[in-house]
Amino acid sequence: MSEPRLIRVLTRKWPDSPHWEYDALRLGMDEYGEWVGLPLGTRMSRPGVTLHASAAHVVLLPHGAWWVATFYGDDPERPVDTYVDIATPWRWNHDESEARAVDLDLDVIKGTTGRVWVDDEDEFAEHRVSLGYPPDVVEQAVGACADVERAVTGQAGPFAGAHLDWLARLRTLTN
């Protein structure tokens, strides 16, 4: 496994407005995609808001999928267990120092009690009109949201614990 390197992760709002940005350690790749890690205290910002990670976590930038997943371990300060943003597929810049996607509002969340729900359906409905989401983008987002909700609920694919080794690697590198 190669040495991790710092990359910039940029999420945008449709079609290309600033949203969440942060630096992360590029940890490696598996069959699900690229894994990046954010140590405790990592600065994350979007216009008007700056936060610092309350718990170490890893983010999966999947191969060609319409989502990005954030996974936490068992840290008591974690906000949730899993948070999946429905987004356009990730694109890397020429030297792979920056990953970028467009957040499409819908979120699939698994809380710390195990409950799974879809969030921000109202925001998605509003933005598909006010921001003019193209029909194919709407179709991809709705389909991805349904698929991810089933996978998170059923603990399938990357939602079956794939993050645990990556989270352990992050902790080893940053402790």
Task: Encode the chain (175 residues) as per-residue pLDDT tens digits.
Answer: 567 899 999 999 999 999 999 999 999 999 999 999 999 999 999 999 999 999 999 999 999 999 999 999 999 999 999 999 999 999 999 999 999 999 999 999 999 999 999 999 999 999 999 999 999 999 999 999 999 999 999 999 999 999 999 999 999 999 8
What pLDDT, on a 0 to 100 scale, did the predictor assign at position 1?
Answer: 59
DSSP β-ladder status, 49-52 and 57-62: unpaired
Indicate left, alpha or beta for 115 from its phi (over 0: left) and psi (-120 to 50: alpha). beta
**CB neighbourhood size of 1 (10 A):** 7
What pLDDT, on a 0 to 100 scale, did the predictor assign at position 2?
Answer: 64
Distance CA 66, CA 64 (A): 7
Location of structure tokens 């996978």: 151
What pLDDT, on a 0 to 100 scale, did the predictor assign at position 4?
Answer: 82
Q: How far is CA 12 from CA 74, 133, 144, 162, in A?
A: 29, 14, 18, 26
Query: Is the CB of residue 120 less than 8 Å from the CB of residue 107?
Result: yes
What pLDDT, on a 0 to 100 scale, did the predictor assign at position 48?
Answer: 97
Query: Is the CB of residue 60 less than 8 Å from the CB of residue 69?
Result: yes
What pLDDT, on a 0 to 100 scale, did the predictor assign at position 3?
Answer: 77
pTM, entire model? 0.96
What pLDDT, on a 0 to 100 scale, did the predictor assign at position 26?
Answer: 97
